[in-house]
A and B are shown apart, each in its own frame.
Chain A
Amino acid sequence: MSATLEALSQNLQEHLGDRVKSLKMLFGEVTIEVDSADYLAVMQTLRDEPALSFEELIDLCGVDYSAYGNVERVGKRFAAVSHLLSITRNWRLRVRCFAPDDDFPSLPSLTSVWNSVNWFEREAFDLYGIVFPGHDDLRRILTDYGFVGHPFRKDFPIAGYVEMRYDPEQQRVIYQPVTIEPREITPRIVREATYGNVDNA
């Protein structure tokens, strides 16, 4: 397994050179980070270069890093993380690309490289508000028609802002502010790195 990963990381460095901002090998998976300016070109190379040949885009998702580790975030907030798969070479790769602007996150669309990314980018736009210039049909996909906001951002409350009920007086379904009290049964706790270490069980 690790011989394959070695070969993959070597090929990556050879064909992408310094366009790879960082390369990590952890848990038997390879992750690279690329700059948003190189994003599209890198992805094109990853698909077309025979030494890499990532024919399939398995997944693309948005990530909001603003609350990572329960500490104030330094660095960019939004990223698109894609998982690529090569059928011929039988290896996988994770590519992370941070959106340069936190207030208006935007990354080039990959629809011209892999058609399968179409709905994944719509989803990332819907849930995180990352826009993908070059995408020809960037509509909301999972949330309701007329939904306001991007629900998977960390500052969006889990109960949302509005709830829906039938109003017998107006005889129609209406939206109103949520009446659910926010509650957290188990708080989110980040322990020191060795706490969950299963080796000292």
Chain B
Amino acid sequence: MPELRNFTLNFGPQHPAAHGVLRMVLELDGEVVMRADPHIGLLHRATEKLAENKTWIQSVPYMDRLDYMSMMCNEHAYCMAIERLLGIEVPIRAQYIRVMFDEITRILNHLLWVGCHGLDVGAMTMVLYAFREREDLIDAYEAVSGARMHAAYYRPGGVYRDLPDRMPQYQESKWKSAAQIKPFNDVRSGTLLDFLDDFSGRFPKLLDEYETLLTDNRIWKQRLVNVGIVSPERALQRGFSGPMLRGSGIAWDLRKKQPYEVYDRVDFDIPVGVTGDSYDRYLVRMEEMRQSNRILKQCIEWLRQNPGPVMSDNHKVAPPDREAMKSNMEELIHHFKLCTEGIHVPEGEAYSAVEHPKGEFGIYVISDGANKPYRLKIRPPGYVHLSAMDEMVRGHMLADVVTIIGSQDVVFGEIDR
């Protein structure tokens, strides 16, 4: 009888289902995974070390590049940490804008996730629909910050500028006739809030469409149900957060339990899973998109009625406006000091966490009173979830590894930092 041995398989780092640069060494017994050893760090850019050598404000754009699928939520945690150390108040309108864009970001992230997860598992069309809606939301990013992905829109003390009164329009070209672009420009004819209002009106229906494609789809269920089950006890042991924890049946959401900004003023529910398998996590995320849409609507309503400042008027932190700067010596000095030396954050340490689309995203900063952080630690949710990979895939088939990576919603920008 020939000798039977386990064999090892190298998965990635350039595998399309590895969601980036994940390399996994899988030990297989036939087609059953006995052990998985994820090798990460192939996208390590030492963001934390770079931040120690940049002024506080210069690191804001780095935050976008962490989890490059939910850009503004990363900035949010960073700005909140600085604001906590400085002890400054963010204007209420800026808080609403932040909440609104956090929820837009959540929808953006979950749309990409459901599309790519579909691709991995074999539902090829899902990604096309998901990207259709992402386009609208990315346009909202562009309208407000000028960048479609790496917005750098949240700043310590508020947000960079108020919501724009008009949306960018599609231009006629030799590929797109005036008749073709008309429906796109019609919804973009009003303000950003009008556009988002229109979006939030049609989005629940589109979500229903996605669900008809997936939720009761036999193949989808065969691939997801009972794959990668995590019990609530294990989820806590492994430090899970966000949809991964809620999928395991623990109703924990920082937006409800430790509300920041104006989350205590908006109305929404937290979906919770039952079995803790990949299918439950799918359902949780789908429902989260509906709830985000609800929050989005409430924010639009509030923002329409309440104009006001969006940036702190404290010029030790936020730059003065252009006009004042050019007519006033005091403002000029403030501007000069802010743009050369940067803000000084008093000595101390703070940890601020936000309910990021992927889980709890935390920023731990230590300041020694300088114009640069002494230490910045990013607590990435995906890193913790991926560290449970071995436990989750053990005993599953090779094909289920792809499902589990998908249901963890990993993005390597944040895992490798």
Contacts and interface: CB of A to CB of B under 8 A. Distances in A.
A195 B341 CA distance: 12
Interface of B: 40-41, 44, 46, 48-50, 53-55, 58, 84-88, 236-241, 250, 252, 257-258, 314-317, 340-351, 353, 360, 362, 364, 366, 368-372, 374-375, 377, 379, 383-384, 386-388, 391, 416-417
A158 B50 contact: yes
Contact of A201 (B316, B342, B372): B316
A30 B14 CA distance: 43
A87 interface: yes
A142 B239 contact: no
Nearest to B234: A115
Contacts of A55: 236
Contacts of A102: none
A144 B371 contact: no
Given A58-B239, A152-B49, A186 B55 contact: yes
A161 interface: no
Interface of A: 26-29, 31, 55-59, 61, 63-64, 67-70, 81, 83, 87, 90, 92, 94, 114-119, 140-144, 151-152, 158, 184, 186, 188-191, 193, 195-198, 201
A116 B239 contact: yes
Kindly name the residue among A55, A59, A140, A191 whose own CB sees the greatest number of chain B CB atoms within 10 A: A59
Chain B CB within 10 Å, residue with most, of A184, A196, A197: A196
Given A58-B362, A142-B41, A151-B49, A189 B370 contact: yes
Given A69-B369, A90-B257, A151-B49, A186 B341 contact: yes
A184 to B, nearest CB: 7
Contacts of A117: 239
B238 A195 contact: no
Given A94-B351, A143-B44, A197 B377 contact: no
Contact of A142 (B44, B340, B366): B44
29 contacts: A28-B84, A29-B350, A31-B349, A63-B366, A63-B375, A64-B375, A68-B368, A69-B370, A81-B377, A83-B364, A87-B250, A90-B257, A92-B351, A94-B349, A119-B383, A140-B41, A141-B40, A141-B41, A142-B40, A142-B44, A142-B416, A143-B41, A143-B44, A186-B55, A191-B369, A197-B316, A197-B346, A198-B314, A201-B316
